[in-house]
Amino acid sequence: MEECLKLLKGERDEQKLAGLLLSTKFCKGDDHHSILKIYNAVGPAFLDRLLKTGMGGDNKDAYLQLSVTILAAICRVPEIARSKDMVSKVSYTLDILKNGSGASVVVVVEECYEFLFLVSTSSEDGFAAFYESRGVNVLANNMPTLPDGSHSLELAMTLVQSMLIKLPMDSLYNEYAAELSQLVAAIARQFALLHNALKFKALNLLSTLLSSEYAAPLHDALRLVSNEIWPIYVRVGIVAILQNRVASTEKFHALVLAESSISILGEKWLIDQRKLPGGEDPLPADRCLLLVLESSRVEVAVLLNEIAYLKYEASSESSADIRLKQQNLAIAFSLIEKIIKLISNVAGDEVQDINLFWLTQVTDCLVKLMDLNNLVVGEAFGTIFLACDTIMNILLKKEEASVQLDGSSIVRLLTAFASCTDFITDPSFIMMASSICTLIFDSTSEEALLSHPDFKPSTLNSLARLIAKSLRTSGQDQMSDVAKTEGDLHQIITAGYTRWADRFPRIKEAVKR
């Protein structure tokens, strides 16, 4: 160290350069005391001259590598990183990343990113220098060229994270929508390909970038990108998260990302079968859809229980938690609705391709949502009606689609409708539930249902009251608003009743009464 300091304090440039080369051995790790000695010995003026020499002139590659390596090393000391001398070098470092090319630059890229990270995160002035020197543009153009999973890429992603924390979001999205779309594409690739902690960093960045309330310009920019593969990367990454054992918070980030992706690309993104670059086999068409649907259903159940507990607790601290969980609940419900909408469209337009498993999933989701505790939450009603509409659409075309509910699904669905018969008074729900029950009764009988071990006689009694109530609701006043709105459903119920009434004596008796 003493030899190094003597050289650094020498009068000739050759001495200082020799001292800097020697100092690289002492600038490793967190020995701030040694680093400060070296910095004070060499002084900022020589470092500044060395950096500028490295950007032009003879032996520039060697000078550039040495100067950036030293700058990155000494900025591990926070007081050096936030000094005016280091802040002033941010624009030079960005120029190296922006203008450089070839093998010589590859050597210094990591040190450039480390320097930028240390300076921009150490002070407001450092970050301001990064932003005002068009650091966002440099990141957008440079990140796609970085090696997958490299330390340089990790540092670049951390800089993006800092931008999202420190910058005014509306200005960032409005001014840099195109650049942000490039960042999304680069980060999405890491999200799909990596299997380490950086994968989760990429997930959090993508979900934050795409779900912001200010993200509309970014969504528009992503829609304009042609022949891009970022949607495939995002879908592959989401599947990897949802089908593996990861923390619940990470799974919810994946659902947030899925909801944002659907908002940008539409529901059919979930069943896109395009291949990943490299010729890997695509995911099964329904893998992502089913994982998102099941994860959303589980999330709804968990959140409803947590909200109910917090409301019961009713402490002053629980109000913020309840609002956050209600926001999360809205995301989960939104995903369920969008998936059911997709399945409904497939059922209507391409009935030959309906997957039966999509139908044990929608039915199961509907059964869970119709739980008494769920029905008192207003957010659930839209999803419940959409799920009912999907199932009814499929049942109306079951012969053409060659699908039908199995016995266990029928019993669970009928039991769910029966359980809410006596306390749900909404006429539209009564007519929708009765219509589905009517279509199910076409393919079974009272005797067959009662022989099922999980079907109770009390369930049939409740269903009888439901059918009778629906027929009375429509028959009492043919000019009522309900009759006008639900006319098609009334026709389904009355026509179905005439077909199977003799096979269901209990229901027939209830209707007569």
What are the residue ranges spanned by the domains of the chain?
1-133, 288-398, 405-512
Measure the CA–CA gap between 442 and 412, rounded to whole angstroms.
17
pLDDT of residue 504: 93
Low-confidence residues of the chain: pLDDT under 70: 29, 54-59, 100-107, 226-227, 279-282, 314-317, 346-359, 371-380, 397-405, 422, 473-485
User: In sequence order, which residues have a C-beta less than 8 Å from that of residue 462 and are 6 or more positions away?
Assistant: 418, 419, 421, 422
Predicted confidence (pLDDT) per residue in 334-353, tens digit: 898 888 778 777 655 444 44
Evaluate whether 173 touches 218 at the Cβ level (below 8 Å). yes
Sign of CA dihedral 289, 294, 295, 301: positive
Closest by CA to 22, choosing from 37, 210, 33, is 37
| Six-digit token string for 122 | 């150490």
- Which residue has 């990108």 as its token pair? 225
Non-local CB neighbours of 406 within 8 Å, separated by 6+ positions: 360
How much is the pLDDT for 235?
94
Kindly give, in sequence order, each residue whose CB lies less than 8 Å from that of residue 349, ignoring residues fewer than 6 positions away.
Answer: none
Q: Which residue has the tokens 């800089």?
A: 159
Q: Into which CATH architecture does domain 288-398 fall? A: Up-down Bundle (1.20)
How many whole angstroms separate alpha carbon 75 and alpha carbon 95?
19
DSSP code of residue 134: T
Which helix (H) or strand (E) covers residue 368, if one does?
helix 356-369
Distances (CA, A) of 74 to 49, 82, 119, 456: 16, 11, 11, 76
DSSP state of 282: P
> Global pTM?
0.79
| Half-sphere exposure in the Cβ direction for 399 (13 Å, CA) | 3
DSSP-derived letter for residue 270 is: G
